[in-house]
Structure 1
Amino acid sequence: MITSPDYATQAPPGTGGTGVPGTFVFDAKGDKDVTGFQWDGGYVAADHRGGKATVRFAPKSSGPEDLSAAAVDAAGNRSPTGYYRYWVASNQPGVSCTPYDDFIGVERTCAFTPYGATPVTGYVYHLGNQPEQTVAAGPDGAATVTVTPTDPNLPYLQLSVQARLATGYLTSPSTETVVSEPGEPEVESLTANPTQSLPARFRAHAVLPGSVTLTYRWNDDEPVTVPLEADGTATVTVTPKTSSWGSFNAYTTTASGQNSGWGGVNVDVTSNKPKVTSAEYPDNSEMTGAVGVPGTFVFSSPVPGAVSYSYDFGNGSSGTVPAGPDGTASVVFAPKVPYVNGIFVTTKFADGTVSEQGGYWFYVNYSAPRFACDPSGWSVSPGQHIQCTLTPVQANLASYGYALGSGPETTVAPGADGTATFGFDVPADQPSGSYLQLRLWSTNTAGTRTEETGTSFYVYVNTGLSAHGTSKTI
């Protein structure tokens, strides 16, 4: 059985209070086997076998509480656990702060008042993670303190307050939320389209009262501090070193050293890579020109100060050309392969720096001749004769050419209608099961040769069966 003369089993408002000690009695009711009691605070011996034990402690929270205990005999055996429910009266101090909401760094006045019948000698309090402090209570048990929130990253801080009772115990804490405005500066970009390697301007306007300096950071650069103008603004210039997204962030500081929160703006930084244009080979998905047909490619820079351009068309076609007085340069290039072609270009500036690499893709028409060969079966035999007809694609056609594998090249003149017919015999020593490659091309009057086309013949010897030719028409 559990009883208490100080904390009765009753509903609110309850008795005692947090930090107010009370006595609790465990009674074995004459059971001679009982030598002590195991309770929430540990073990306590009975005053005699079958007798009582008394414990004293101070509840740490108000409202309904439960205390449990079990009787223990000499052998350590425990009885079923018994429970005692009691209600602890609220005695946490009252706390209020003014102003409730203000800028970071603004001092708040907070009043602490006692609650309950137990006299109060002082208070222990702390704001957020600031150090704990104490203040003595006045004759009426009340106290007034000032607290100052200083971390702009913590706009909502809890002020925790415990009353110290005349008994020396502390009550459970009361809390009050202290709200702070970080006062982050208003930031705007004054450069409509920031470009890599070119200066970009930003303006910041202080919001935190009393601010005297602005500290700003561009991306991951080191912070820079500048004074604010009389109107609370500062205009600064940064030079983006890279393209894509850029972040300008800043905070202000008062004469007393209080920092505001960070304000900022994100901007899209245009690359300083050169621009490439070509009238003959425009940057689109349409097939233009042809292999060997030259085109002029013009380079220009969005950033002043270009002194040269380095380019690479692939296939060994690369080099560097100086920029003209207007900052542009051009090269003439005749594509060596059909379909997708590309060029990669960088700009070198007067200060020795080099731009990001720009890319330009264009599409080149196929110009190799069309052809058809006879016979058209799937295989051929050694010594078999093959006849092929060529149809022109290349403009200003002058001649056709063909070769078998890596063998010698043969030139064929076109007829009046531009077509040509030629024949050849499959080499008699061509191994059975091998492939015979036929390579074809054409050349125009300027001597420009097209890309190659062609096909492969499968050479097969089947004794007793006739052989058939095979060809591929493109």
Structure 2
Amino acid sequence: MRRYATVAALSTTALVAGLAPRAQAASAPTPPTVTDQGLLNPDRPCGTQADHPSAGQFTMFTVHTVGTNPPPSPTTSFAMWPDGHPDQRTVIGSSIGANPRLQVDLRGYADGTVLAWTAQASDVSGPGPDGAVCYLTVDNTAPPTPLVSSKKYATANYPGTGGAGVPGNFIFDTGGSRDVTSFEYSVNRMPVAAGNPVAAPNHPGGRAKVSVAPSSSGSEYVEVRSLDAAGNASDWTKYTFYVRDSAPFATIDNAGIGLTSHIRLQAISTDVTSFGYTVDGGPETRVPAIGQKATGSLVFTSAGTKTIVEHSYAGKKLAGAHTDRIVVTDAPGVSAAADPISGRPETFTLTARSVGVVAFKYDFGGDQQRITADADGSAKLSWTPPAGGTYTITVTSVDGAGHESTPAVQTFYVIDAHPNVGINDTPVLGQPIEVFLWTDVPGVTGFVYTFDGGTQQSVHGPNAAVDVVPRHAGDSPFTAQGVLADGTLTPPTTIQLSVPDAPGVTLTGPYGNSAVAGRPATFTLVPPTQDVVGYQYTLADGTSGTVDEATITYTPADPGYGSLTVRGVHRDGSLSADTRVDYIVLDPQIDTWGIYENGWFAFSGDLMDVTVTYLWHVNDGPVQETPADPDGYGTFVQYAAQDGENHLYIQRVFTDGAVSPLQDVSF
């Protein structure tokens, strides 16, 4: 039975037809050749018939092409056949470029099969000669999974052993298999840019030893698999271990350049007797631990990112390690005592981060100012923010020779002492509008406010909302102040509620601010100015007219949606801007539904909250009175009826005593 390979090519292409004519070359073009044939991952050379490598599963063929012709790049075809059967030569794929590769699936061949392969490159000048014939022996059998052990990290249970940053040796054992050529491993499956590390056994069938320093305490693991000469890999073996929580952690007070900084060290483990720390790989400074804590000093001599490695020790034994990176700069420190508030003096503390500082230069985005430093290299800067908002302060320190430091730039937010006042809707004459009050000023317990010259009123809380009603067109001022716990007031904020020159309209139906079909509704009109003597109006159904009084009464015929557009008529006959009011017309009719064949009805619909009683009967039966269910989705009633067509007659009584029209529902 003929064997064949399934091929997955990394990249393939065809020569482009209809190439443009080329200039006549000085000599005839030379087709490309192939050299440096071999196998990748692991790397193996082109084998001879007598001495060749093994390969299995997905194997990568590679060659190098040599040619002098202009682009496009050569296309290289790869061919393969069983050794001794050149008549079974098959092109298994192609790839483009100076270093083409082709991945070949050898799983269709039995172990021990010897295969021959070669490659041929071609370009615009035609095909070149075949490369050398290379040989390989198929090996699709994976090596055995490795055995993993560690004396330092021998347990997977709490509290564990070792410590974060404490190296431990891990042994990878072939179990005596001479097929294993190397071990691939990873720690906690952390990605490595160059790929997972690989370790070779000390001899065929032997073991490999690697050193691993866990990055943190707690449960960690190492994953390992065996590799053979053909590139086959075993399944992964996962070795889990528990790292003792004995590494130090540090807090570093970074004072800057040339000044004494301090490091505070601490560990959880009770057997820690001392700590050590290094800066940028320099000599270690050791300090004794008292109650698992210690303090040390550092002096940074230059700016930049510094790597500080801390160690904890139990006697002379390393118990753990931790690494911190900090940025050292001579830019001065800038801090404020509290959140700045507009109009209130704020104090900034400026701190030198280099030696010999005699002054500071600063600005808030305007002209630069100078302030003299105290003997300890600090200064207190008082500044009163003129308004709320975002500010940026830039500060440099100046030494005795006039040298300036790197600038410290700090952006901060100033709380506006004035309360925030706002509305979400457009004010409408005669209609309540909600005004929102809020502030970030600490200690505000509420607000006092006035509207349009009215009396002062109050509301509690640092965030509040109040309703006011505009009584005339134009601007109406709203003024608010925050009330502090001691009774003092913040500066005021005033906004104008601008009401257009249009009438105010309020709808009053029989049961609130919605109309009801078949029932009169009243629109109350508020004149925008005192010289309005009448109104022109138009309803959605086309009804229009002029009224002198301040009300319009209208009875909508059908449920749904309606609208009223109205303008004020001034004394001189001119018209104001119009006001349009959209409203809902509710349906007094009753929705009836239910499982009729089971003898039940349910009554529901609009106006359920003002329905008192349902009056109903089936056919010529007696009238039933059923109280409306005020809490449910409907009122359920039981009935009796004969077979065939029946009729339900139903009305309802509202809270004002009105009765809805009689409905005849056949079922």
Q: TM-score surpassing 0.5?
A: no
Q: Which has the higher contact order (CA 8 A, sep 6+)?
A: 1
TM-score normalised over the length of structure 2: 0.26
TM-score normalised over the length of structure 1: 0.34
